[in-house]
Amino acid sequence: MSIVLHTSKSDKVVDGVLYVFLTLFSIATLFPLYYVFIVSITPFSEVLRNGGFIIWPSEFTFTAYKEIFSSRTIPDALKITVFITVIGTFLNLAVTSLLAYPMSKSHIPGRNFILLALVFTMLFSGGLIPTYLVIRGIGLYNTVWAMIIPGMVSTFNLLIMKTYFQNLPSELEDAAKVDGCGDLATLFRIILPLSMPIMATLGLFYGVTHWNEYFKGIMYITDRSLVPIQVVLRNMIQSANVSQELATTNTLELAQLPPETVKMATVVVATLPILIVYPFLQKYFIKGMMIGAIKG
């Protein structure tokens, strides 16, 4: 027996309206990214001839990309950003999982008090000045670790991971203990291999945060060789002298390039890596956000 579902005319109209709305919304979202890229590879004279608005250039030029990568600033800033993203995300996941696992056990002494203290940090913080004084006092000022260690654990991400651990079958841990596994062995051999979806979700949360980090770079870093790419981009946008910000050896050729073209190229360089990674892990965002609504 086959069941035929008939779609009414009103349903078709609603579906059509939704498709049109989603299409227009997608265009409105993607067009700024497309425009930034097109301007970065278009001769600025052509951009001016078209009144600053261009859809498809008649000529392409990658001079801006050549110049920003020939400088020391952009490659060094990218290395710093990649370092704090990779190492920071790894440490975030390690510390978060080590803290979330015992917090998922209701029999742990003092568990409720520790959870209350963790949730308290979501509502109140020590403040900017005390945090700055602590960073200087413990010797993290003007080091890359100032952009990693202060945000080692996000309470929001910790609660999501704790909930995920709670939803895993307790029989797996009982079987592991029968086989002689301790708590750490159970975590690393049983729990974490089964928790790859939540690890990918929170890894993406932490990674995007580290990649977009600029506030800590402004507050705690004064050495220009240690600033992340987002700080360089911010300084370029606010500065009228792009060649000075890039500190390139070929200042004459860079000076002949319009500052707006160089800034657009830097925006593309700063956003392209995370845009490439995000589509492959996008599904984990939805799964990770739904986990917290299953069980508190």
Share of the chain above pLDDT 70, in %: 85
**Band (1; pLDDT cuts 50, 70, 90):** very low
pLDDT on residue 224: 84
Residues 54, 122 within the same domain: no
Residues 155, 134 within the same domain: yes
pLDDT tens for 20-51 read 999 999 899 888 888 888 888 888 777 777 77
Query: Residue 269: which of 5, 70, 59, 21 has the closest Cα?
Result: 70
Phi and psi angles of residue 204, each rounded to the nearest 5 degrees, phi first: -70, -40
pLDDT on residue 290: 59
| Stated pTM of the model | 0.80
> Is the separation of the CB atoms in 85 and 208 below 8 Å?
no
Residues 88, 178 within the same domain: yes
> Is the separation of the CB atoms in 98 and 110 below 8 Å?
no
pLDDT tens for 58-110 read 888 888 888 788 878 888 899 999 999 999 999 999 999 999 999 988 888 88
Number of structural domains in the chain:
2
Could you say which of 39, 61, 83 is where a domain stops?
61
- Structure tokens given for 232: 């360089």
Domain interval for residue 167: 62-296
Residues 24, 123 within the same domain: no
Residues 213, 67 within the same domain: yes
Could you say which of 16, 31, 61 is where a domain stops?
61
- Structure tokens given for 215: 């506030």
Integer Cα distance of 147 and 3 in angstroms: 59
C-alpha torsion angle, residues 205, 210, 216, 218 (rounded to 10): -130
- At which residue do the structure tokens 């939805």 appear? 286
**Band (287; pLDDT cuts 50, 70, 90):** low
Integer Cα distance of 52 and 57 in angstroms: 12
> Is the separation of the CB atoms in 245 and 232 below 8 Å?
yes
> Is the separation of the CB atoms in 80 and 88 below 8 Å?
no
Residues 135, 269 within the same domain: yes
Integer Cα distance of 105 and 224 in angstroms: 46
Q: Answer yes or no: is pLDDT of 189 > 50.
A: yes
- Structure tokens given for 269: 């360089």
DSSP SS3 for 211: helix
Query: Residue 126: which of 150, 93, 157, 156 has the closest Cα?
Result: 150
